[in-house]
Amino acid sequence: MRQSGEAVVESLAIRPPLRALDLGCGDGTTAVPLAQAGAEALGIDIARNLVEAGQRRAAEMGLANLNFQHGDAGELQGVADHSFDLALSMFGAMFSPWPFDVARELVRVVKPGGRIVMGNWIPNDPTSFVSQLLKTSAAFAPPPPEGFISPATWGLESHIVERFGQAGVPADRITMARDTGGSEKDRREHPVDLKARAPTETLIHSRDRANKSESP
Ligand SMILES: C[S@@+](CC[C@H](N)C(=O)[O-])C[C@H]1O[C@@H](n2cnc3c(N)ncnc32)[C@H](O)[C@@H]1O
């Protein structure tokens, strides 16, 4: 999946200086290329072993502008309001059981005029290996507890609009696109890998300065 992080960062046309948050960062698939592109990057993940692995990677790569910390996407303790120009989450925050809290936290930590970008798998997508894998494993798993909200609902436009709407973001500030992920080079060199992680849905939200007073 390493190339997927590079492709996302490439598509964002990062122009330093900027502060970037990678939520549900794993060991830095996207946070590392963000830092390499010149961002002051922070990766947050709920898995402490991945946070440690990310810290090791950053040290080995000599990336002084990349840090990792433990945290929960639904409650970003110790992360100040309006502290990032860009907050992104590639298949990470979608796994929080509290999707409305995730949207609220993403909006809270991004500066007015900043961007939120999410990559989420689309439920039941016939062209997506991961979507099919999730669907198949769910069929063999015991029924989820009452109130369980499937991570795959982050791949549905109506849910995205509702969640960010509750966080104060008007629908006309939300853009969604289906994407197979990866770069052209990836597609040529790793067609099978790419198929395995396609497609994604990307949300790009620019907080509107004019709506600053309406946002939390
Ligand atoms: C499919 S992996 C994606 C990792 C990375 N973003 C990437 O693209 O390689 C999902 C990640 O989300 C993290 N995660 C799951 N629930 C989380 C939560 N509530 N808060 C923060 N991270 C979470 C997992 O620990 C894992 O690292």
DSSP strand pairing (200-206 vs 110-121): antiparallel
Which of 45, 134, 154 for mutating ligand 1's site (highest number of atoms within 8 Å of CB)?
45
Per the domain annotation, does 110 fall within a domain? yes
**Cβ of 134 below 6 Å from ligand 1:** no
Encode pLDDT of 21-33 as tens digits. 999 999 999 999 9
**Closest residue to atom 19 of ligand 1, CA basis:** 96
What per-residue confidence (pLDDT) applies to 81? 96
Domain count, the chain: 1
Question: CA–CA separation, 91 vs 197, rounded Å?
Answer: 11
Per the domain annotation, does 209 fall within a domain? no
What is the mean predicted confidence (pLDDT) over 113-137? 84
Per the domain annotation, does 28 fall within a domain? yes
What per-residue confidence (pLDDT) applies to 3? 75
Per the domain annotation, does 214 fall within a domain? no
Which of 91, 94, 100, 154 for mutating ligand 1's site (highest number of atoms within 8 Å of CB)?
91
Per the domain annotation, does 213 fall within a domain? no
Per the domain annotation, does 215 fall within a domain? no
- Bridge partners for 115 per DSSP: 86, 206
**Cβ of 6 below 6 Å from ligand 1:** no
* 88: phi then psi, degrees, rounded to nearest 5: -130, 160
Encode pLDDT of 67-103 as tens digits. 999 999 999 999 999 999 999 999 999 999 999 999 9
| Nearest to 34, CA basis, from 43, 24, 44 | 43
Ligand 1: distance of its center to the CA of 73 in Å? 9
Which of 22, 42, 75, 95 for mutating ligand 1's site (highest number of atoms within 8 Å of CB)?
95
Least confident of 44-48, 130-134, 148-152: 130-134
What per-residue confidence (pLDDT) applies to 80? 98
**CATH code of the domain covering residue 18:** 3.40.50.150
Per the domain annotation, does 211 fall within a domain? no
Q: Which domain holds residue 82?
A: 2-200
Per the domain annotation, does 175 fall within a domain? yes
C-alpha separations of 164 from 64, 117, 124, 210 in Å: 33, 12, 23, 17
Helices H, strands E: what count in the chain?
8, 7
